[in-house]
Chain A
Protein backbone atom coordinates (compact mmCIF):
# COMPACT_ATOMS: atom_id res chain seq x y z
CA UNK A 1 0.00 0.00 0.00
CA UNK A 2 0.90 3.63 0.23
CA UNK A 3 4.48 3.91 1.48
CA UNK A 4 4.79 7.37 2.93
CA UNK A 5 8.12 8.74 4.17
CA UNK A 6 8.63 9.14 7.91
CA UNK A 7 8.15 12.46 9.62
CA UNK A 8 4.83 13.43 8.05
CA UNK A 9 2.10 14.82 10.25
CA UNK A 10 -1.68 14.82 10.02
CA UNK A 11 -1.38 18.34 8.63
CA UNK A 12 0.93 17.37 5.77
CA UNK A 13 -1.28 14.78 4.01
CA UNK A 14 -5.00 14.05 3.71
CA UNK A 15 -6.39 11.02 5.54
CA UNK A 16 -4.38 8.08 4.18
CA UNK A 17 -6.31 5.19 2.59
CA UNK A 18 -5.95 2.07 4.70
CA UNK A 19 -8.22 -0.35 2.83
CA UNK A 20 -8.75 -3.99 3.59
CA UNK A 21 -7.30 -6.66 1.28
CA UNK A 22 -10.34 -6.58 -1.00
CA UNK A 23 -9.97 -2.86 -1.76
CA UNK A 24 -6.20 -2.64 -2.04
CA UNK A 25 -6.30 -2.92 -5.85
CA UNK A 26 -8.15 0.41 -6.10
CA UNK A 27 -5.35 2.38 -4.48
CA UNK A 28 -2.62 0.38 -6.22
CA UNK A 29 -4.23 1.32 -9.56
CA UNK A 30 -4.62 4.97 -8.53
CA UNK A 31 -0.93 5.17 -7.68
CA UNK A 32 -0.35 4.16 -11.33
CA UNK A 33 -2.91 6.80 -12.44
CA UNK A 34 -5.57 4.30 -13.36
CA UNK A 35 -9.16 4.11 -12.11
CA UNK A 36 -10.08 0.46 -11.48
CA UNK A 37 -13.44 -0.73 -10.17
CA UNK A 38 -14.31 -4.25 -9.06
CA UNK A 39 -16.43 -6.01 -11.72
CA UNK A 40 -18.34 -9.27 -11.79
CA UNK A 41 -16.81 -11.85 -14.15
CA UNK A 42 -20.21 -13.46 -14.59
CA UNK A 43 -22.57 -10.59 -15.46
CA UNK A 44 -20.32 -7.57 -15.95
CA UNK A 45 -21.86 -5.56 -13.08
CA UNK A 46 -19.55 -3.14 -11.28
CA UNK A 47 -19.46 -3.40 -7.49
CA UNK A 48 -18.30 -0.38 -5.53
CA UNK A 49 -17.36 -0.26 -2.66
CA UNK A 50 -15.58 -3.57 -3.04
CA UNK A 51 -17.48 -6.56 -1.70
CA UNK A 52 -16.82 -10.28 -2.16
CA UNK A 53 -20.07 -10.79 -4.07
CA UNK A 54 -21.93 -9.24 -7.01
CA UNK A 55 -25.16 -7.67 -5.73
CA UNK A 56 -26.86 -8.33 -9.08
CA UNK A 57 -26.14 -12.04 -9.74
CA UNK A 58 -24.51 -13.14 -6.45
CA UNK A 59 -21.47 -14.32 -8.38
CA UNK A 60 -18.35 -14.49 -6.24
CA UNK A 61 -15.82 -14.16 -9.02
CA UNK A 62 -14.93 -10.48 -9.37
CA UNK A 63 -11.85 -8.70 -10.67
CA UNK A 64 -10.66 -5.10 -11.00
CA UNK A 65 -11.55 -3.54 -14.35
CA UNK A 66 -10.18 -0.23 -15.62
CA UNK A 67 -12.90 2.35 -16.31
CA UNK A 68 -12.83 5.34 -18.64
CA UNK A 69 -12.61 8.01 -15.96
CA UNK A 70 -15.54 9.84 -17.56
CA UNK A 71 -18.82 10.57 -15.90
CA UNK A 72 -21.18 13.25 -14.72
CA UNK A 73 -21.13 15.39 -11.61
CA UNK A 74 -23.76 13.90 -9.29
CA UNK A 75 -23.40 16.18 -6.24
CA UNK A 76 -20.96 18.73 -4.84
CA UNK A 77 -20.46 21.03 -1.89
CA UNK A 78 -18.16 24.00 -1.34
CA UNK A 79 -16.26 23.29 1.85
CA UNK A 80 -15.21 26.42 3.78
CA UNK A 81 -14.54 24.95 7.23
CA UNK A 82 -11.81 22.41 7.98
CA UNK A 83 -12.38 19.40 10.21
CA UNK A 84 -8.96 17.86 9.60
CA UNK A 85 -5.61 19.70 9.85
CA UNK A 86 -4.56 18.99 6.26
CA UNK A 87 -7.47 20.98 4.87
CA UNK A 88 -6.94 24.13 6.98
CA UNK A 89 -4.89 25.82 4.25
CA UNK A 90 -6.72 24.11 1.36
CA UNK A 91 -10.00 26.00 1.84
CA UNK A 92 -12.19 26.37 -0.03
CA UNK A 93 -12.28 22.97 -1.70
CA UNK A 94 -15.05 21.18 -3.53
CA UNK A 95 -16.05 17.77 -2.28
CA UNK A 96 -17.97 15.95 -4.99
CA UNK A 97 -19.55 12.70 -6.04
CA UNK A 98 -19.24 11.60 -9.66
CA UNK A 99 -21.42 9.03 -11.41
CA UNK A 100 -19.21 7.04 -13.76
CA UNK A 101 -20.41 6.49 -17.32
CA UNK A 102 -19.96 2.73 -17.14
CA UNK A 103 -23.09 2.05 -15.06
CA UNK A 104 -26.04 4.05 -13.70
CA UNK A 105 -25.55 4.68 -9.98
CA UNK A 106 -21.86 3.78 -9.99
CA UNK A 107 -20.47 6.57 -7.86
CA UNK A 108 -17.07 7.68 -6.60
CA UNK A 109 -16.32 10.37 -4.05
CA UNK A 110 -13.75 12.92 -5.20
CA UNK A 111 -12.69 16.56 -5.36
CA UNK A 112 -13.51 18.83 -8.29
CA UNK A 113 -10.50 20.76 -9.56
CA UNK A 114 -10.03 23.43 -12.23
CA UNK A 115 -13.50 24.81 -11.45
CA UNK A 116 -14.88 26.52 -8.36
CA UNK A 117 -18.13 25.80 -6.55
CA UNK A 118 -19.97 28.56 -8.43
CA UNK A 119 -18.97 27.15 -11.82
CA UNK A 120 -20.41 23.69 -11.24
CA UNK A 121 -23.80 22.11 -11.80
CA UNK A 122 -25.19 18.64 -11.25
CA UNK A 123 -25.11 16.60 -14.44
CA UNK A 124 -22.13 18.33 -16.05
CA UNK A 125 -19.65 16.02 -17.80
CA UNK A 126 -16.41 15.46 -15.91
CA UNK A 127 -13.25 13.44 -16.30
CA UNK A 128 -10.67 12.04 -13.94
CA UNK A 129 -7.51 14.02 -13.20
CA UNK A 130 -4.92 12.33 -11.01
CA UNK A 131 -3.28 14.75 -8.60
CA UNK A 132 -0.37 14.16 -6.25
CA UNK A 133 -1.18 15.35 -2.71
CA UNK A 134 1.93 14.04 -0.99
CA UNK A 135 5.11 12.17 -1.86
CA UNK A 136 3.85 9.24 -3.96
CA UNK A 137 0.31 9.89 -2.71
CA UNK A 138 -2.06 10.29 -5.66
CA UNK A 139 -5.81 10.92 -5.54
CA UNK A 140 -8.30 10.51 -8.41
CA UNK A 141 -9.81 13.97 -8.63
CA UNK A 142 -12.13 15.17 -11.40
CA UNK A 143 -12.31 18.26 -13.62
CA UNK A 144 -14.85 19.54 -16.14
CA UNK A 145 -14.61 17.41 -19.28
CA UNK A 146 -12.58 18.92 -22.10
CA UNK A 147 -14.85 19.94 -25.02
CA UNK A 148 -13.88 16.96 -27.19
CA UNK A 149 -14.65 14.65 -24.31
CA UNK A 150 -17.91 16.43 -23.50
CA UNK A 151 -19.13 16.05 -27.07
CA UNK A 152 -18.38 12.40 -27.34
Chain B
Protein backbone atom coordinates (compact mmCIF):
# COMPACT_ATOMS: atom_id res chain seq x y z
CA UNK B 1 0.00 0.00 0.00
CA UNK B 2 1.30 3.44 -0.89
CA UNK B 3 2.01 5.61 2.14
CA UNK B 4 2.82 9.31 2.49
CA UNK B 5 5.93 10.65 4.14
CA UNK B 6 5.31 14.36 4.52
CA UNK B 7 2.09 16.03 5.58
CA UNK B 8 1.41 19.74 5.87
CA UNK B 9 -1.23 22.03 7.33
CA UNK B 10 -2.52 24.19 4.47
CA UNK B 11 -5.60 25.90 5.88
CA UNK B 12 -6.94 27.03 9.23
CA UNK B 13 -9.92 28.95 10.49
CA UNK B 14 -12.32 29.68 13.30
CA UNK B 15 -16.06 30.11 13.67
CA UNK B 16 -17.40 33.19 15.34
CA UNK B 17 -16.42 32.68 18.96
CA UNK B 18 -17.83 33.98 22.19
CA UNK B 19 -20.46 33.57 24.84
CA UNK B 20 -24.10 33.22 23.94
CA UNK B 21 -23.46 33.31 20.19
CA UNK B 22 -26.79 31.59 19.55
CA UNK B 23 -24.96 29.41 17.05
CA UNK B 24 -25.69 25.68 16.98
CA UNK B 25 -22.88 23.13 16.89
CA UNK B 26 -23.60 22.55 13.18
CA UNK B 27 -23.36 26.28 12.44
CA UNK B 28 -20.13 26.59 14.40
CA UNK B 29 -18.62 23.63 12.53
CA UNK B 30 -19.70 25.00 9.16
CA UNK B 31 -18.24 28.45 9.84
CA UNK B 32 -14.89 27.00 10.86
CA UNK B 33 -14.79 24.54 7.96
CA UNK B 34 -15.55 27.26 5.41
CA UNK B 35 -12.90 29.54 6.91
CA UNK B 36 -10.29 26.76 6.71
CA UNK B 37 -11.29 25.85 3.14
CA UNK B 38 -10.99 29.50 2.05
CA UNK B 39 -7.59 29.73 3.75
CA UNK B 40 -6.42 26.59 1.91
CA UNK B 41 -7.84 27.67 -1.45
CA UNK B 42 -9.92 24.48 -1.48
CA UNK B 43 -13.50 23.40 -1.96
CA UNK B 44 -15.21 20.53 -0.11
CA UNK B 45 -14.51 18.33 -3.15
CA UNK B 46 -10.81 18.46 -2.20
CA UNK B 47 -11.54 16.86 1.18
CA UNK B 48 -11.63 13.08 1.44
CA UNK B 49 -11.17 12.63 5.19
CA UNK B 50 -12.75 14.19 8.28
CA UNK B 51 -11.71 13.81 11.87
CA UNK B 52 -13.39 15.81 14.56
CA UNK B 53 -14.27 15.99 18.19
CA UNK B 54 -17.62 17.44 19.12
CA UNK B 55 -18.91 18.01 22.61
CA UNK B 56 -19.06 20.26 25.61
CA UNK B 57 -16.31 20.08 28.22
CA UNK B 58 -18.36 20.06 31.41
CA UNK B 59 -22.12 20.04 31.98
CA UNK B 60 -23.88 20.62 28.67
CA UNK B 61 -26.85 22.82 27.86
CA UNK B 62 -29.87 20.88 26.60
CA UNK B 63 -30.78 20.48 22.94
CA UNK B 64 -27.38 20.62 21.22
CA UNK B 65 -27.11 19.04 17.80
CA UNK B 66 -24.41 16.39 17.37
CA UNK B 67 -21.66 16.83 14.80
CA UNK B 68 -20.78 13.42 13.37
CA UNK B 69 -17.89 13.28 10.89
CA UNK B 70 -19.80 11.31 8.24
CA UNK B 71 -22.93 13.40 8.54
CA UNK B 72 -20.86 16.58 8.47
CA UNK B 73 -19.14 15.43 5.26
CA UNK B 74 -22.48 14.98 3.56
CA UNK B 75 -23.57 18.39 4.87
CA UNK B 76 -20.59 19.89 3.05
CA UNK B 77 -21.57 18.11 -0.17
CA UNK B 78 -18.69 15.65 -0.07
CA UNK B 79 -20.04 12.63 -1.95
CA UNK B 80 -17.77 10.02 -0.35
CA UNK B 81 -15.16 9.95 2.40
CA UNK B 82 -12.08 7.75 2.31
CA UNK B 83 -11.56 8.12 6.03
CA UNK B 84 -13.35 9.52 9.02
CA UNK B 85 -13.01 9.36 12.74
CA UNK B 86 -13.77 10.96 16.03
CA UNK B 87 -11.09 11.10 18.70
CA UNK B 88 -9.88 12.93 21.74
CA UNK B 89 -8.52 14.36 23.86
CA UNK B 90 -9.51 17.89 22.88
CA UNK B 91 -8.22 18.96 19.46
CA UNK B 92 -4.98 17.00 19.48
CA UNK B 93 -6.92 13.76 18.96
CA UNK B 94 -8.52 14.79 15.65
CA UNK B 95 -5.25 16.39 14.47
CA UNK B 96 -3.03 13.39 15.15
CA UNK B 97 -5.51 10.88 13.85
CA UNK B 98 -6.09 12.92 10.69
CA UNK B 99 -2.38 13.23 9.94
CA UNK B 100 -1.91 9.55 10.72
CA UNK B 101 -4.61 8.62 8.21
CA UNK B 102 -2.90 10.66 5.47
CA UNK B 103 0.50 9.15 6.24
CA UNK B 104 -1.02 5.67 6.18
CA UNK B 105 -2.37 6.31 2.69
CA UNK B 106 -5.99 6.08 3.76
CA UNK B 107 -6.86 9.50 2.41
CA UNK B 108 -5.16 12.55 0.97
CA UNK B 109 -6.68 15.66 2.53
CA UNK B 110 -8.26 15.74 5.97
CA UNK B 111 -10.48 18.37 7.53
CA UNK B 112 -9.90 18.31 11.29
CA UNK B 113 -12.19 20.10 13.73
CA UNK B 114 -12.90 20.72 17.37
CA UNK B 115 -16.43 21.96 17.93
CA UNK B 116 -17.30 22.98 21.45
CA UNK B 117 -20.30 24.73 22.92
CA UNK B 118 -20.10 26.77 26.08
CA UNK B 119 -20.62 24.67 29.20
CA UNK B 120 -23.22 25.53 31.81
CA UNK B 121 -21.79 27.86 34.44
CA UNK B 122 -21.27 26.47 37.92
CA UNK B 123 -24.23 28.62 39.02
CA UNK B 124 -26.49 27.08 36.38
CA UNK B 125 -25.17 23.64 37.29
CA UNK B 126 -25.97 24.21 40.96
CA UNK B 127 -29.43 25.57 40.24
CA UNK B 128 -30.20 22.60 38.01
CA UNK B 129 -29.07 19.97 40.53
CA UNK B 130 -30.44 21.62 43.69
CA UNK B 131 -33.96 20.43 42.94
CA UNK B 132 -32.86 16.86 42.23
CA UNK B 133 -32.60 13.87 44.54
CA UNK B 134 -29.18 12.63 45.68
CA UNK B 135 -26.76 12.51 42.76
CA UNK B 136 -25.17 9.14 42.09
CA UNK B 137 -21.45 8.65 41.51
CA UNK B 138 -21.16 5.64 39.20
CA UNK B 139 -18.12 3.50 38.39
CA UNK B 140 -14.70 4.91 39.22
CA UNK B 141 -16.24 8.29 40.09
CA UNK B 142 -17.57 6.57 43.22
CA UNK B 143 -14.00 6.89 44.54
CA UNK B 144 -13.70 10.64 43.89
CA UNK B 145 -17.04 12.48 43.62
CA UNK B 146 -18.28 11.77 47.19
CA UNK B 147 -15.30 13.78 48.44
CA UNK B 148 -16.23 16.74 46.29
CA UNK B 149 -13.98 16.13 43.29
CA UNK B 150 -16.85 17.15 41.07
CA UNK B 151 -15.21 19.59 38.65
CA UNK B 152 -12.09 19.13 36.50
CA UNK B 153 -10.48 22.17 38.14
CA UNK B 154 -9.81 20.23 41.33
CA UNK B 155 -7.94 17.20 40.01
CA UNK B 156 -6.46 18.69 36.83
CA UNK B 157 -5.33 21.95 38.41
CA UNK B 158 -5.69 22.27 42.19
CA UNK B 159 -4.03 19.03 43.26
CA UNK B 160 -1.02 19.12 40.90
CA UNK B 161 -0.50 22.88 41.30
CA UNK B 162 -0.29 22.64 45.08
CA UNK B 163 1.98 19.59 44.83
CA UNK B 164 4.23 21.48 42.41
CA UNK B 165 4.50 24.27 44.99
CA UNK B 166 5.28 21.89 47.86
CA UNK B 167 7.83 19.84 45.93
CA UNK B 168 9.60 22.53 43.94
CA UNK B 169 8.93 25.79 45.73
CA UNK B 170 6.80 27.16 42.91
CA UNK B 171 4.89 30.29 43.95
CA UNK B 172 1.52 31.83 43.15
CA UNK B 173 3.41 34.86 41.84
CA UNK B 174 5.08 32.57 39.30
CA UNK B 175 1.71 31.26 38.14
CA UNK B 176 0.69 34.91 37.88
CA UNK B 177 3.73 35.79 35.78
CA UNK B 178 2.47 33.40 33.12
CA UNK B 179 -1.07 34.79 33.25
CA UNK B 180 0.23 38.35 32.92
CA UNK B 181 2.57 37.42 30.04
CA UNK B 182 -0.05 35.70 27.96
CA UNK B 183 -2.53 38.54 28.49
CA UNK B 184 0.21 40.80 27.15
CA UNK B 185 0.32 38.59 24.05
CA UNK B 186 -3.48 38.70 23.79
CA UNK B 187 -3.34 42.50 23.73
CA UNK B 188 -1.73 42.12 20.29
CA UNK B 189 -4.34 39.68 18.96
CA UNK B 190 -7.51 41.13 17.46
CA UNK B 191 -9.20 37.72 17.84
CA UNK B 192 -8.66 37.62 21.60
CA UNK B 193 -11.71 38.09 23.81
CA UNK B 194 -9.64 39.61 26.64
CA UNK B 195 -7.10 42.22 25.57
CA UNK B 196 -6.75 44.64 28.49
CA UNK B 197 -3.34 44.37 30.14
CA UNK B 198 -3.16 42.66 33.54
CA UNK B 199 -0.70 43.29 36.35
CA UNK B 200 0.57 40.79 38.87
CA UNK B 201 -1.49 42.64 41.51
CA UNK B 202 -4.62 42.13 39.38
CA UNK B 203 -3.81 38.44 39.27
CA UNK B 204 -3.22 38.15 43.02
CA UNK B 205 -6.47 40.02 43.70
CA UNK B 206 -8.54 37.61 41.58
CA UNK B 207 -10.72 35.16 43.50
CA UNK B 208 -9.69 31.57 44.12
CA UNK B 209 -11.68 28.64 42.77
CA UNK B 210 -9.66 26.06 44.62
CA UNK B 211 -6.43 27.10 46.31
CA UNK B 212 -3.92 27.73 44.81
CA UNK B 213 -5.92 28.08 41.55
CA UNK B 214 -7.53 31.42 40.73
CA UNK B 215 -10.26 32.18 38.24
CA UNK B 216 -7.61 33.77 35.97
CA UNK B 217 -5.80 30.40 35.82
CA UNK B 218 -8.82 28.83 34.09
CA UNK B 219 -9.61 28.96 30.39
CA UNK B 220 -12.75 30.80 29.33
CA UNK B 221 -15.68 28.64 28.18
CA UNK B 222 -17.24 29.83 24.92
CA UNK B 223 -19.04 28.62 21.81
CA UNK B 224 -16.38 27.95 19.22
CA UNK B 225 -15.27 25.74 16.40
CA UNK B 226 -11.80 25.53 14.93
CA UNK B 227 -10.71 23.78 11.75
CA UNK B 228 -7.38 22.87 10.20
CA UNK B 229 -6.85 21.14 6.85
CA UNK B 230 -3.91 18.77 6.48
CA UNK B 231 -2.83 17.27 3.17
CA UNK B 232 -0.10 15.20 1.53
CA UNK B 233 3.06 16.92 0.27
CA UNK B 234 2.23 16.88 -3.45
CA UNK B 235 -1.15 18.55 -2.90
CA UNK B 236 0.26 20.95 -0.29
CA UNK B 237 2.62 22.45 -2.89
CA UNK B 238 -0.42 23.57 -4.94
CA UNK B 239 -2.03 25.59 -2.14
CA UNK B 240 -1.86 29.38 -2.19
CA UNK B 241 -0.19 29.78 1.20
CA UNK B 242 3.13 28.24 2.20
CA UNK B 243 2.74 24.75 3.68
CA UNK B 244 3.43 24.24 7.38
CA UNK B 245 4.97 20.79 7.79
CA UNK B 246 4.29 18.21 10.47
CA UNK B 247 7.87 17.49 11.54
CA UNK B 248 7.01 15.15 14.40
CA UNK B 249 4.06 14.24 16.56
CA UNK B 250 3.18 12.06 19.51
CA UNK B 251 0.09 10.80 21.27
CA UNK B 252 0.25 9.49 24.82
CA UNK B 253 -1.82 7.66 27.37
CA UNK B 254 -0.36 6.75 30.77
CA UNK B 255 -1.88 5.00 33.76
CA UNK B 256 -4.28 5.46 35.27
CA UNK B 257 -7.25 6.81 33.34
CA UNK B 258 -8.36 9.07 36.21
CA UNK B 259 -6.56 12.29 37.16
CA UNK B 260 -6.92 11.54 40.90
CA UNK B 261 -5.23 8.17 40.43
CA UNK B 262 -2.29 9.07 38.19
CA UNK B 263 1.05 7.54 39.11
CA UNK B 264 2.58 11.03 39.18
CA UNK B 265 0.54 14.24 39.28
CA UNK B 266 3.15 16.34 37.45
CA UNK B 267 5.34 13.92 35.48
CA UNK B 268 2.64 12.18 33.44
CA UNK B 269 1.58 11.89 29.79
CA UNK B 270 3.17 15.17 28.56
CA UNK B 271 6.59 13.85 29.60
CA UNK B 272 5.95 10.60 27.75
CA UNK B 273 4.60 12.46 24.71
CA UNK B 274 7.58 14.83 24.69
CA UNK B 275 10.15 12.04 24.85
CA UNK B 276 8.48 10.39 21.87
CA UNK B 277 8.16 13.71 20.03
CA UNK B 278 11.89 14.43 20.26
CA UNK B 279 12.82 10.82 19.44
CA UNK B 280 11.09 11.18 16.05
CA UNK B 281 13.02 14.22 14.83
CA UNK B 282 16.55 15.58 14.65
CA UNK B 283 15.35 18.93 15.98
CA UNK B 284 15.93 19.85 19.62
CA UNK B 285 14.12 22.13 22.09
CA UNK B 286 16.72 24.82 21.36
CA UNK B 287 15.59 24.88 17.70
CA UNK B 288 12.03 25.89 18.62
CA UNK B 289 10.97 29.52 18.03
CA UNK B 290 7.66 29.42 19.88
CA UNK B 291 5.66 27.03 22.03
CA UNK B 292 1.86 27.02 22.10
CA UNK B 293 0.98 25.08 25.24
CA UNK B 294 -2.49 24.10 26.38
CA UNK B 295 -3.65 26.37 29.18
CA UNK B 296 -6.90 24.81 30.28
CA UNK B 297 -5.28 25.70 33.60
CA UNK B 298 -1.99 27.53 34.24
CA UNK B 299 -0.28 24.52 35.84
CA UNK B 300 -0.60 22.62 32.55
CA UNK B 301 1.61 25.19 30.79
CA UNK B 302 4.22 24.69 33.52
CA UNK B 303 4.03 20.92 33.12
CA UNK B 304 4.51 21.13 29.34
CA UNK B 305 7.45 23.55 29.65
CA UNK B 306 9.22 20.95 31.79
CA UNK B 307 8.06 17.97 29.75
CA UNK B 308 9.27 19.43 26.47
CA UNK B 309 12.65 20.22 27.99
CA UNK B 310 12.56 24.02 27.84
CA UNK B 311 13.48 23.84 31.52
CA UNK B 312 14.11 21.02 33.98
CA UNK B 313 11.58 19.21 36.14
CA UNK B 314 10.38 21.61 38.82
CA UNK B 315 12.08 24.63 37.25
CA UNK B 316 9.13 26.10 35.36
CA UNK B 317 8.25 28.63 38.06
CA UNK B 318 11.53 30.56 38.05
CA UNK B 319 11.78 30.02 34.27
CA UNK B 320 8.46 31.77 33.64
CA UNK B 321 9.14 34.45 36.25
CA UNK B 322 12.42 35.32 34.52
CA UNK B 323 10.51 36.23 31.36
CA UNK B 324 11.66 33.41 29.07
CA UNK B 325 8.10 32.74 27.92
CA UNK B 326 7.21 36.33 27.03
CA UNK B 327 7.46 37.59 23.47
CA UNK B 328 11.12 38.52 23.10
CA UNK B 329 12.12 35.82 25.58
CA UNK B 330 14.00 32.63 24.74
CA UNK B 331 10.82 30.63 24.07
CA UNK B 332 7.66 32.73 23.70
CA UNK B 333 4.62 30.79 24.90
CA UNK B 334 1.00 31.19 23.84
CA UNK B 335 1.60 34.12 21.53
CA UNK B 336 -2.12 34.35 20.69
CA UNK B 337 -2.94 34.84 24.38
CA UNK B 338 -3.91 31.23 25.11
CA UNK B 339 -7.36 29.82 25.80
CA UNK B 340 -7.71 32.01 28.89
CA UNK B 341 -7.88 34.97 26.51
CA UNK B 342 -9.02 33.70 23.09
CA UNK B 343 -11.59 31.37 24.68
CA UNK B 344 -11.74 27.64 25.10
CA UNK B 345 -11.00 26.26 21.63
CA UNK B 346 -9.79 23.11 23.37
CA UNK B 347 -6.32 22.97 21.94
CA UNK B 348 -7.02 23.98 18.35
CA UNK B 349 -5.87 27.57 18.81
CA UNK B 350 -2.39 26.29 19.63
CA UNK B 351 -2.15 24.47 16.30
CA UNK B 352 -3.60 27.46 14.45
CA UNK B 353 -1.29 29.97 16.14
CA UNK B 354 1.67 27.73 15.25
CA UNK B 355 0.58 27.76 11.61
CA UNK B 356 0.11 31.52 11.60
CA UNK B 357 3.47 32.20 13.27
CA UNK B 358 5.26 29.96 10.77
CA UNK B 359 3.50 31.71 7.88
CA UNK B 360 4.41 35.10 9.30
CA UNK B 361 0.78 36.22 9.64
CA UNK B 362 0.82 37.43 13.24
CA UNK B 363 1.28 41.17 12.86
CA UNK B 364 2.45 42.91 16.04
CA UNK B 365 2.98 39.61 17.89
CA UNK B 366 4.90 37.99 15.02
CA UNK B 367 8.14 36.27 16.01
CA UNK B 368 10.80 37.31 13.51
CA UNK B 369 11.94 34.48 11.21
CA UNK B 370 9.96 31.84 13.08
CA UNK B 371 10.77 28.48 11.50
CA UNK B 372 9.89 25.89 14.15
CA UNK B 373 6.88 25.77 16.46
CA UNK B 374 5.67 23.19 18.93
CA UNK B 375 2.12 22.91 20.20
CA UNK B 376 0.79 20.64 22.87
CA UNK B 377 -2.64 19.78 24.17
CA UNK B 378 -4.22 18.01 27.14
CA UNK B 379 -2.43 16.62 30.19
CA UNK B 380 -2.59 13.92 32.83
CA UNK B 381 -3.63 10.52 31.56
CA UNK B 382 -3.81 11.58 27.91
CA UNK B 383 -2.19 14.19 25.71
CA UNK B 384 -0.33 14.84 22.50
CA UNK B 385 2.11 17.22 20.86
CA UNK B 386 3.10 18.29 17.37
CA UNK B 387 6.26 19.92 16.07
CA UNK B 388 5.75 22.02 12.93
CA UNK B 389 8.15 23.74 10.55
CA UNK B 390 8.03 26.06 7.58
CA UNK B 391 10.05 25.29 4.44
CA UNK B 392 13.65 25.62 5.53
Contacts and interface: CB of A to CB of B under 8 A. Distances in A.
A111 B148 contact: yes
Contacts of B144: 109
A144 B140 CA distance: 26
A107 interface: yes
Nearest to A122: B166
B154 A77 contact: yes
A121 interface: yes
Contact of B142 (A18, A88, A111): A18
Interface string B142-156: 111111111100100
21 contacts: A8-B133, A9-B132, A9-B134, A10-B130, A10-B131, A11-B130, A15-B150, A16-B137, A18-B139, A18-B142, A19-B142, A49-B140, A77-B161, A78-B208, A78-B211, A80-B210, A80-B211, A83-B122, A96-B159, A107-B260, A111-B147
A138 B137 CA distance: 15
Interface centre among B126, B143, B213 (most CB of A within 10 A): B143
Interface string A39-53: 000000000110000
Contacts, number: 159
B261 interface: yes
A48 to B, nearest CB: 7
B101 to A, nearest CB: 31
Interface string A47-64: 011000001000000000
Contact of B159 (A17, A86, A95): A95
A74 B134 CA distance: 30
- Top 6 nearest A-B pairs (CB, nearest first) are A77-B158, A78-B211, A17-B142, A15-B145, A122-B166, A15-B137
B346 interface: no
A136 interface: no
Interface of B: 122, 125-126, 129-151, 154, 157-163, 166-167, 207-213, 255-256, 258, 260-261, 263, 265
- Taking residues whose C-beta sits less than 8 angstroms from the other chain, chain A's interface range is 35 or more
B135 A49 contact: no
A75 interface: yes
A115 interface: no
B129 A10 contact: yes
Between A93, A109, A117, the greatest number of chain B beta carbons within 10 A of the residue's beta carbon is seen for: A109
Contacts of A84: 126, 129, 135, 145, 148, 150
A66 interface: no
A117 to B, nearest CB: 6
Contacts of B261: 48-49, 107, 109
A145 interface: no
Nearest to A23: B142
A80 B137 contact: no
Interface in A1-48: 4, 8-20, 23, 26-27, 48
B159 A75 contact: yes
Contacts of A49: 140, 143, 256, 258, 261
Interface string A103-142: 0010111110000010001110000000001000001010
B147 A12 contact: no
Nearest to A13: B134
Nearest to B140: A49
Contacts of A48: 143, 261
A115 B172 CA distance: 21
Nearest to B261: A107
A138 to B, nearest CB: 10
Contacts of B148: 14, 79, 84, 86-87, 90, 93, 95, 111
A131 B263 CA distance: 27
A20 B129 CA distance: 23
Given A27-B142, A49-B256, A77-B154, A18 B159 contact: no
B317 to A, nearest CB: 16
Nearest to A107: B261
